[in-house]
Amino acid sequence: MLRKKWGNAWRSTGHPDAGPVVCVAHVDNTLRIVACGDEAMRWGLRSGQGLAEARAICPGVIVIDEDQAADQRLLEAVADWCDRYTPLVALEGRNGLFLDVTGCAHLVGGEACLLEDILKRLTQMGFEVRGAISSSPGLSWAVCRHGADRIVSDEDREDVLTPLPVAALRLDPKTVAALHKLGLKCVGDLMRTPRAPLVMRFGPEVLLRLDQARGDDEEAISPRRPVASLSAERRLAEPIQSEEDILFLTRQIAKSLLSGLEARGVGGRLFELVLFRVDGQVFRLPAGASRPLRDAERITALFSQRLAALQDLEAGFGFEILRINVLHHQPFENIQSDLAENDRRHLALSTFVDQVSARFGPNCLQTYQLRESHIPERAERFVPAAEALGRQMPKAPQMLSRSERPVRLFRVPEPLESFAAEIPDGPPTRFRWRRLTHQVARAEGPERLSPEWWLDDEAAATRDYFRLESTAGYRFWIFRKGLYERDAQQHWFMHGLFA
């Protein structure tokens, strides 16, 4: 709210003449304060207070309406920025984040340096932020919101948790109010109370939250993004801006992935280039490959096309961290070249498909995939070419009929405007399609196709297909929907054209 009003660096520059600012929203059909600035809190305003009461206390208060969608986007942007510390970042409510920094703290000098760096950087970006590190998410949440910024060791866990209010256990307001009526106002009071009466009175939620905060009950966080199977990055002393520098470093990072891919015996199918800008904005550029890749040049070529197609990549003051994530991989097969160089031709096709798909999107090149169905329009489907090249094409299903199929098959059969046919099962002798009347010279059929009862509803009808040749030499593939002895009405459709 204040960053949007005065800029990202408003905390460092200061706005003493700005006046108190509050954010309000409709709560129980009443405008209430949901967030307060520092100046507003000095006036005695607080969250949950009615707007009318706040204006009575401070007539000059600046009121801004809450925008939950914008708040969520901002929280997700901060979570993206926190990926520089750990890939395990989870959203916590509307204004919090959980970071699992296990095994990551040593990269920035330890837990103390990590916590100091996060708080300092976010404060410089204009956020009011608090943080804590402990062995359990519940304890970190409690200390962060009801204590002071600190690192809690396992030995000090009980001493730190005891004086905190019961609201620090992430309980709902009604439960907190009921505990206060019983005189249980801090966590230490709950620890000294017998557990059985608490469960009988409030259910298992209170003790579950208490055990999670104490570390007696394991609590896992759910990362907002899938963790990459392999990752490599470069942290730069000087930010870079040009596309040439980005591609040069991308090539170097891709080369560093080679040893990890070889050790696993795999190649990457889906890569992600992550660009961390100095002002905190994060850009994620995915690029897929039709075959497992290890070659740094081909990986760089994919991102070269992605950068060429991207229109909104604003470098600003530059990027300070570049990272490549391998999001999906497959076994890598080393194939020996033959004298005909068939593998080279296949590799050239794969390279072409990868680069075109990276620039214009995965659906720009498509091919068909066979399916197990005897209904003509269901017997195949279109898939991205990069996806089809990455796996062995299935064999054609065994058809019950070996009759000739048309060269051009309409995706949606077109109804005939009028027709004259022999009863009951004969082919049409004349029909009108697309405002032209055709006289039938030769006919072959019928070829009967029953509906797929496991997919179709009860209204689906049997089809009788005919191959027709008109007096003008045109050849058609039409069908009658419905049978004379079963259905009250029958309809004729054009489904394809022969060469």
Instruction: Kindly tell me the burial class for residue 37, based on how many C-beta atoms sit within 10 Å of its own C-beta (0-12, 13-18, 19 or more).
Output: buried
- pLDDT of amino acid 4: 67
Residue 109, helix vs strand vs coil: coil
Q: E strands of 223-277, at which residues?
A: 230-240, 266-277
Are 51 and 33 in contact by the 8 Å Cβ rule? The answer is: yes
Residues in the chain: 499
- pLDDT of amino acid 279: 87
Are 347 and 362 in contact by the 8 Å Cβ rule? The answer is: no
Between strands 408-415 and 132-133, the pairing is unpaired
Handedness of CA 310, 313, 92, 99 (dihedral sign): positive
* Backbone angles phi and psi of 138, in degrees to 5: -65, -40
DSSP symbol at 164: S
Are 432 and 418 in contact by the 8 Å Cβ rule? The answer is: yes
- pLDDT of amino acid 189: 92
Please give the structure tokens belonging to residue 386.
């990069």
- Distance of alpha carbon 196 from alpha carbon 200, whole angstroms: 6
**Residue indicated by tokens 């519940």:** 138
Q: What is the pTM of this model?
A: 0.73
Please give the structure tokens belonging to residue 365.
């090149």
Are 261 and 326 in contact by the 8 Å Cβ rule? The answer is: yes
Instruction: Kindly tell me the burial class for residue 276, based on how many C-beta atoms sit within 10 Å of its own C-beta (0-12, 13-18, 19 or more).
Output: buried
Are 280 and 126 in contact by the 8 Å Cβ rule? The answer is: no
b/e burial code for range 323-339 (CB count within 10 A of at least 16 → b) = bbbbbbbbebeeeeeee
With a cut of 50, which residues of the chain have pLDDT below it?
393-394, 396-402
